[in-house]
Amino acid sequence: MNVSEKLEAIKNEAKERISIIKSMHELNDAKAKYLGKKGMFNDVMKLMKDLPNEEKPMFGKLTNETKQIILKYIEEQRNLIEQAIIQEQLNKETIDVTLPGKKFLLGKKHLMTQIVEEIEDLFVGMGYQIMEGPEIETDENNFEKLNLPKDHPARDMQDTFYITNDTLLRTHTSPVQVRTMLEKGGKEPIKILCPGKVYRRDDDDATHSHQFMQIEGLVVDETTSMAELKGTLLEMANKMFGEGRKIRLRPSYFPFTEPSVEVDISCHNCNGKGCNICKGTGWIEVLGAGMVNNNVLEASGYDSTKYRGFAFGIGVERLAMLKYGINDIRQFYTNDIRFNSQFKK
């Protein structure tokens, strides 16, 4: 067997043996056996001294080539083994991804807060300030300054929780408007939104609550008109019930506004065709509004020959009930967590 045949035999043997190695440890042994200081090539190199000088370079080249090839076999096998190891790890680590995840609690804001914040944001965007005031109010702020003197028949419309003769639980958030007008001293325009809790002497049932949430709006300026009121209410209707609403104003009566109107919004459920939410009329009644009665402006220091105002008031629970088909107003106050957590915000 000549030298090149010998090298060929080593190469072939190496190829065969390396290809069946399964572990890194064996592969390292094999590398030492072939290419290490005491490896097989040591024996081969010993043959070199017996070769004629002119063949020595050829032999060296051939030997190096063979070493390189064997090294390549080893590296190829190393890749295969590494892949196999990773594959095995992956197999071992495979989980049932359909098992439930760990729960991270996220609470929900109360539906009343969600709606109030939504309406507040709309009006802040239109340049309104959000104003709040006390719930324990004076008869003067809650009634008298709103064109509801004692003995006014319309006081019967709002049965009141009195605390003393002169103090009461506010029946609407209008006293906040009175306070704001007094604060501004009749001198500057007003654009405010007043959300808050209000109280009426009602027996609690599916549609009545002795406590509820109201949002009122007030604009006072030298240019204010019914048309501006109508435009503003349409914005709110579109925000709360989706774009494309229509609004309808019907004559009504409130002591604090003149003209006074009831405001209907085209039904969001049936788009005006008539359904059980709008009781077949195509319209849902959502709020009351009007131009501020001059007596109200004057009582709070605004010159009614110069200034005009519009105001509107909306019951938030009623709005939510219409929007989500809720049939019992008490659900907002019992706070069954299965009810509250349906509103995800």
Partner 1 sequence: MKVSLNHLKELVETDISAVELSKLFNLHSSEVEETYQLVDATNLVVGYVTEKVKHPDADKLSVCQVDIGGEISQIVCGAPNVDKGQHVVVSKVGAVLAGGFKIKKSSIRGVESNGMICSLAELGIDKKFIYSDGIYVINEKCKPGDDPLSILSLEDEVMALDITPNRADLLSVMGVALDTSTILDVPLKFKVPEVKSIEKENPVTVKIETKNCYSYYARVIEDIVIKDSPNWMQSRLIAAGIRPINNIVDITNYVMIETGQPLHAFDYDLLGSDIIAVRMAYEGEEFTTLDEHKRKLTKEDIVITNGDKSVALGGVMGGFDTEIKEGSNRILLESAVFNPTNIRKTSKRLDLRSEASIRFERKIDPKRTILALNMAVSLFHKYANGKILKDYKFEDNIDYSEPVINTSTKQINDNLGTNLSTEEISDILRRLHFEHQINEEVLSVILPSRRQDMETYQDIVEEVGRIYGYDKLPLILPTTVSKGQLSESQIFIRNIKNKMTGLGLNEVLTYSLINEKRIDEFTKSKANFTKVASPMSIDRHVLTSSPLNGIIDVIKYNNARKNKDMFVFEVGKRYNEDEKIVLSGALTGLFSETNWQGTKEVVDFYTVKGILDSLFESLYLGHVEYEPMIDYKNLHPGQSAYIKDYSGVIGFIGKLHPEYAKSHSLKNVYVFELEVDKMLSSRRVLKKVKEINKFPEVSRDIAIVLDDSTTTKEVLDVIKKAGKRMLIKADVFDLYKGSPLDDNQKSLAISLTFSDTKRTLETKEVDQRVNEILGILKAKLKAELR
HSE of 89 in the Cβ direction (CA atoms, 13 Å)?
Answer: 6
Three-state DSSP class for 217?
A: strand
CB of 335 to partner 1, least distance (A): 4
Between 41 and 332, whose beta carbon lies closer to partner 1? 332
Question: Which tokens go with 220?
Answer: 């006072």
**Which residues are bridge partners to 138 per DSSP?**
167
Between 54 and 222, whose beta carbon lies closer to partner 1? 222
Between 128 and 302, whose beta carbon lies closer to partner 1? 128
Name residues contacting partner 1, limited to 194-213 (CB under 8 A): 197, 199, 201-204, 210-211, 213
Name residues contacting partner 1, limited to 299-328 (CB under 8 A): 308
Spell out where the chain has E strands. 129-130, 136-138, 167-169, 190-199, 211-221, 247-254, 257-266, 283-292, 308-315
Element (H, E) at 84: helix 56-93
CB of 89 to partner 1, least distance (A): 22
Three-state DSSP class for 56?
A: helix
Distance CA 10, CA 73 (A): 13
Between 57 and 231, whose beta carbon lies closer to partner 1? 231
Q: How many helices (H) and strands (E) does the chain have?
A: 12, 9
Between 55 and 262, whose beta carbon lies closer to partner 1? 262
164 interacts with partner 1 by CB under 8 A: yes
CB of 94 to partner 1, least distance (A): 17
Stretch that binds partner 1, among 18-26, 46-54, 64-72, 290-298 (CB under 8 A): 290-298
19 interacts with partner 1 by CB under 8 A: no
Is residue 138 a contact partner of residue 165, using CB atoms and an 8 Å limit?
no
Residue span 229-248 as binding mask against partner 1, x where in contact by CB under 8 A, dash where not: -xxx-xx------------x
Is residue 31 a contact partner of residue 38, using CB atoms and an 8 Å limit?
no
Name residues contacting partner 1, limited to 23-52 (CB under 8 A): none
CB of 182 to partner 1, least distance (A): 18
Name residues contacting partner 1, limited to 79-108 (CB under 8 A): 99-100, 102-108
130, 182, 270, 277: which one contacts partner 1 (CB under 8 A)?
130
Is there a cis peptide before residue 259, judged by omega within 30 degrees of 0?
A: yes
Is residue 67 a contact partner of residue 41, using CB atoms and an 8 Å limit?
yes
80, 262, 269, 301: which one contacts partner 1 (CB under 8 A)?
262
CB of 253 to partner 1, least distance (A): 3
How many C-beta atoms lie closer than 10 Å to residue 147's C-beta?
A: 21
Q: How far is CA 302 from CA 129, 233, 257, in A?
A: 19, 24, 15
Residue span 49-78 as binding mask against partner 1, x where in contact by CB under 8 A, dash where not: ------------------------------
CB of 220 to partner 1, least distance (A): 8
144 interacts with partner 1 by CB under 8 A: no
Is residue 286 a contact partner of residue 319, using CB atoms and an 8 Å limit?
yes
